[in-house]
Amino acid sequence: MDSLNLNQQANNNIIQITAENVQHEIITASQEKLIVINFTTQRSGESINLSETLVKVAGQYVNDLNLAIVDCDDQQMQQLAMQFGVQNLPTVILFKDGKGLNGFAGEQTHEQIIEFLSPYLPKPEDKLIQQVAQLLSENNYQDALVPAKEAYQLAPDRADAKKQLIDVLLNLGQNNDAESLLAEVGMVDQDDYYHSLVAKLELNKEAAESPEIKALRESLVAQPGNANISMKLAAQLHQAQQNEEALELLMPILIKDLHAEDGEVKKMLMDILATMAKGDPVATQYRRKLYSLLY
């Protein structure tokens, strides 16, 4: 067991099971992590090879699983193996939330073990979804946009990832994109969260067409190209989170009046860009336009 012990020192998610720690390291720990129980013996080359492979696999998933090694050359551990119904060595049993999930007997390759474990390990999008949930709880919609998009791209069929992205988009005023995604949510996933998002979209639309905005639109139709009206309308649109339209109004004015002494248009445009989320493609597009004008 010397080489195995050296690897255990390097990986803190590898535990040698004893009569004293079995309750804590298997039953209790399984409430937090997937436990891969390796019933092994030093009397079998197959067991030794499998143990070495499992140690390597455990090193890849330090945060997601614990490898619990049960040395069945020990009499007490033989009794433990019998309690788990182990009939042959080596045997691997997956344990989570206090119960066995699956298992296999005999030697397996590294690739076979990874494939066997994959249904029980967190998916890449799971961590992103958790991150977005935390950011949403903090009302930090700007930082939530990129991970929400990444989670949706990784798992476009997952309703939870889709609804999170819709939530972020609505809070950033990206109503059109949010509405398109809402239309893709199936009946089976139209829960309370979904209905709250539908209500949020309606509120956003109402805010986007406030009496002030309607009046300014009418004034701009009557006086096309009026910079003062355009700036007032852009300010109202920004308050209603309609940033793309606000930027569309400001950019032509900035191009015509690039070297104005007061720089009011440039300041308003930059202020709007500063409030937009990282990874927002509209913000990226207009930043490039602005930098090309200025530099």
pLDDT tens track for 216-235: 988 989 998 888 999 999 89
pLDDT the model gives residue 134: 95
Rounded CA separation 105/93 (Å): 9
pLDDT the model gives residue 188: 94
Exposure string for 126-135, b = 16+ CB within 10 A, e = fewer:
bebbebbbeb
pLDDT the model gives residue 262: 60
Q: Which CATH number fits domain 124-208: 3.40.50.720, 1.25.40.10, 3.40.50.80, 3.30.230.10?
A: 1.25.40.10
Position 5 pLDDT exceeds 60: no
Position 170 pLDDT exceeds 50: yes
Phi first, then psi, for residue 109 (nearest 5°) are -75, 165
| Domain with residues 2-120, CATH architecture | 3-Layer(aba) Sandwich (3.40)
Domain 211-294 sits in CATH at 1.25.40.10
pLDDT tens track for 103-131: 999 999 999 999 999 999 888 899 899 99
Global confidence as pTM: 0.59
Highest mean pLDDT among 237-241, 247-251, 278-282: 247-251
Sign of the torsion formed by the C-alpha atoms of 88, 89, 94 and 98: positive
What are the residue ranges of helices labelled H in 75-184? 75-83, 110-117, 124-137, 141-154, 159-171, 175-182
pLDDT tens track for 51-73: 999 999 999 888 899 999 999 99
